[in-house]
């Protein structure tokens, strides 16, 4: 689909429990995505002519390259500004040593876990006191590799099974791939307000994220923006989820997802300016899609 909502066409249909979180490579030649809640992570390389060469029925499963799979929750791929590298996260409740951020090297066809900091380093910018058990907190949510700052990855951290926990809510963190240190820049005040998606702005200065109003129902989300240093937090929209920046940073695309939405809005893509103005509906026919901008 074009950014104005025109030329909507199928891409890949009927793969198990569904496709999640497609991510365009920065050169526009590949799409990384997960199939179903437990993966695998798959890669599709567009033909030389790009999307225009994809037929009216989309692509076939045999056109996909399998990158990574296993018996765990895997998802949230995000490319670096270098189209050879991408990041995704793994969440395994039974083997927490696998939890964390993983790098995909498209040039060498290799995956490896990012080196995460020890407990003491992880607590340098956090709210909870040092000594807390951090195993299982890494990467319980979305990831976004900064286009403007190639060494920073934004992600969400929270326990695997956190519906009954009484400690503070999800944290928005920034991982430095150069130093292997983590900065926690924001924490939800209510444990039920889980962060569901993050997205770095093209210049790497802002992060857009969506957060549940009440994770027990997993329906209504709000969209927020915050500076990479944790300042200037503000809500953009009280009815959106899965924000994605346009390449020029002038527009944020999001999915409408709500309990009781206005007629004809639920499950559709909207655009909004980073200052919260000029909210526009982009799609009108198809429902339950997630925006990803090339």
State the pLDDT confidence band at 237, using cuts at 50, 70 and 90.
confident
In a domain, 256, yes or no: yes
Q: What is the pLDDT of residue 165?
A: 46
> In whole angstroms, what is the distance from residue 51 CA to residue 125 CA?
43
Q: What is the pLDDT of residue 123?
A: 34
In a domain, 167, yes or no: yes
Q: What is the pLDDT of residue 161?
A: 42
In a domain, 210, yes or no: yes
State the pLDDT confidence band at 158, using cuts at 50, 70 and 90.
low
Going from the C-alpha of 35 to that of each of 51, 65, 108, 230, 292, the distances in angstroms are 20, 12, 22, 33, 16
Residue 113 scores a pLDDT above 60:
yes
In a domain, 212, yes or no: yes
* Residue 106, number of CB atoms within 10 A of its CB: 19
Q: What is the pLDDT of residue 37?
A: 57
In a domain, 223, yes or no: yes
Give the tokens for residue 72. Answer: 């765990």
3-state SS class at 53: helix
Q: Determine the structural domain holding residue 102 and report its residue range.
A: 70-281
Q: What is the pLDDT of residue 221?
A: 78
Query: How would you label 242-278 residue by residue, b for 16+ Cβ within 10 Å and e otherwise?
Result: bbbbbeebebbbbbbbbeeeeeeebebbbbbebeeee
Q: What is the pLDDT of residue 294?
A: 59
Q: What is the pLDDT of residue 126?
A: 38
Q: What is the pLDDT of residues 44-57, one digit of tens each?
A: 887 777 777 777 77
> In whole angstroms, what is the distance from residue 195 CA to residue 170 CA?
6
Which position has the higher pLDDT, 207 or 158? 207
In a domain, 128, yes or no: yes
Is-contact 23 79, C-beta < 8 A?
A: yes
Is-contact 100 139, C-beta < 8 A?
A: yes
Is-contact 104 41, C-beta < 8 A?
A: yes
Of 85, 88, 94, the closest CA to residue 69 belongs to 88
- Strands of the 143-145 sheet, one edge to the other: 143-145, 152-157, 171-176, 182-187
Q: What is the mean pLDDT of the chain?
A: 75
- Strands of the 221-227 sheet, one edge to the other: 195-200, 206-212, 221-227, 234-237
> In whole angstroms, what is the distance from residue 69 CA to residue 39 CA?
6
Residue ranges with strand state E in 158-220: 171-176, 182-187, 195-200, 206-212
Q: What is the pLDDT of residue 12?
A: 72
In a domain, 48, yes or no: no
Residue range 5-14: mean pLDDT, rounded? 72
Q: Alpha-carbon Rg of the chain, whole angstroms?
A: 18
Q: What is the pLDDT of residue 166?
A: 44
Query: How would you label 115-136 residue by residue, b for 16+ Cβ within 10 Å and e otherwise?
Result: ebbeeeebbeebeeeeeeebeb
Nearest 5°: the CA angle 173, 179, 182 is 15
CATH of the domain at 107: 2.130.10.10
Is the link from the previous residue into 40 a cis peptide, with omega within 30 of 0? Answer: yes
In a domain, 268, yes or no: yes
pTM of the model: 0.82
| Domain tally, the chain | 1
């Amino acid at each position: 689909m074009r950014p104005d909502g025109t030329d909507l066409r199928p891409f890949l249909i009927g793969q198990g429990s569904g496709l999640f979180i497609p991510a365009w490579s920065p050169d526009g030649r590949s799409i990384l995505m997960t199939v179903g809640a437990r993966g695998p992570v798959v890669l599709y390389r567009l033909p030389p002519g790009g999307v225009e060469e994809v037929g009216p029925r989309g692509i076939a499963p045999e056109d996909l390259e399998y990158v990574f799979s296993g018996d765990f929750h895997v998802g949230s791929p995000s490319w670096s500004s270098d189209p050879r590298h991408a990041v995704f996260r793994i969440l395994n409740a039974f083997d927490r040593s696998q939890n964390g951020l993983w790098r995909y090297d498209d040039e060498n066809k290799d995956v490896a876990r990012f080196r995460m900091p020890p407990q003491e380093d992880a607590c340098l910018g956090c709210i909870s006191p040092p000594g807390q058990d951090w195993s299982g907190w890494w990467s319980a949510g979305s990831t976004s590799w900064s286009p403007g700052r190639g060494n920073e990855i934004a992600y969400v951290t929270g326990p695997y099974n956190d519906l009954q926990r009484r400690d503070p809510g999800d944290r928005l963190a920034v991982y430095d791939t150069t130093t292997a240190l983590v900065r926690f820049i924001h924490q939800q005040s209510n444990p039920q307000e889980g962060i569901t998606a993050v997205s770095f702005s093209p210049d790497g200065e802002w992060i857009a994220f969506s957060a549940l109003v009440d994770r027990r129902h997993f329906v209504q989300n709000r969209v927020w923006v915050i500076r990479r240093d944790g300042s200037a937090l503000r809500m953009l929209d009280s009815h959106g989820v899965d924000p994605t920046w346009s390449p020029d940073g002038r527009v944020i695309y999001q999915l409408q997802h709500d309990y009781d939405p206005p007629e004809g809005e639920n499950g559709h893509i909207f655009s909004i300016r980073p200052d919260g103005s000029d909210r526009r509906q982009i799609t009108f026919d198809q429902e339950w899609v997630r925006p990803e901008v090339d």
